[in-house]
């Protein structure tokens, strides 16, 4: 990867993080704890344990660039001929591919009869568009295998609060 591309990616990530933080800071609800029923309802929507969160389950691939109570920005790295461990993404997000890991195979997993994850579905992607934001819903157990030689780099902006694309 060229130094210029890295610098542009870091700067854009910082600007995006600052802008989103500023925007969400102006739309926060009144101070005070959320009603207990609201917290319980939000927790009930997500069925996967925290141990499967991308940052915990695949730390070599997901680095936190910025995080607060409303947003988390991840740098997603995938070396050539490597695969990510099974992990989840609890929140809706915007994914920005800076350098594609192609070709690659994206796997969706389910819990098998023995309690271990087994691939339930997969799709191989021969090429990707770069420098375009793409909306992604929350994801259950997933993983990507880089089939190419080149390392992939992406940024994922995860919205912890309600987000309407």
pTM for the model stands at 0.73
Spatial CA neighbour of 118 closest among 143, 82, 81, 91: 143
Q: Would you say residue 9 has pLDDT above 60? A: no
pLDDT confidence of residue 2 = 53
Checking if the pLDDT of 106 tops 70, the result is yes
| Residue 6, pLDDT score | 42
Q: Is the dihedral of CA 34, 48, 164, 67 positive or negative?
A: positive
Q: Which of 17-31, 40-54, 58-72, 117-131 has the lowest mean pLDDT?
A: 17-31
E-only strand ranges, 38-149: 62-67, 71-78, 87-89, 93-99, 104-111, 117-125, 133-136, 139-146
The fourth-level CATH superfamily of domain 3-30+48-159 is Jelly Rolls (2.60.120.10)
The domain limits of the chain are 3-30+48-159
Average pLDDT of the chain is: 81
- pLDDT digit string, tens, across residues 24-50: 444 333 333 333 333 333 445 899 999
Which is nearest to 160 in space by CA: 11, 34, 57, 37?
Answer: 34
CA-closest candidate to residue 76, choices 60, 91, 87, 52: 60
Average pLDDT of 121-133?
95
pLDDT at 44: 52
Closest to 1 in 3D by CA, of 114, 150, 108: 150
């Amino acid at each position: 990867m060229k130094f210029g591309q890295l610098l542009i990616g870091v700067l854009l990530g910082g600007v995006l993080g600052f802008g989103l933080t500023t925007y969400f800071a102006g739309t926060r609800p009144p101070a005070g704890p959320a009603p207990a029923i609201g917290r319980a309802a939000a927790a009930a929507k997500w069925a996967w344990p925290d141990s499967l969160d991308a940052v915990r389950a695949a730390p070599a691939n997901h680095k936190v660039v910025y995080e607060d109570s409303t947003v988390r920005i991840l740098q997603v790295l995938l070396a050539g001929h490597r695969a990510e461990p099974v992990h989840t993404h609890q929140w809706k997000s915007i994914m920005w591919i800076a350098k594609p890991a192609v070709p690659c195979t994206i796997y969706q997993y389910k819990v098998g009869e023995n309690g271990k994850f087994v691939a339930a579905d997969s799709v191989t992607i021969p090429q990707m568009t770069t420098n375009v934001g793409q909306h992604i819903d929350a994801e259950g157990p997933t993983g990507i295998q880089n089939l190419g030689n080149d390392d992939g780099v992406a940024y994922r902006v995860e919205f912890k609060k309600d987000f309407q694309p």
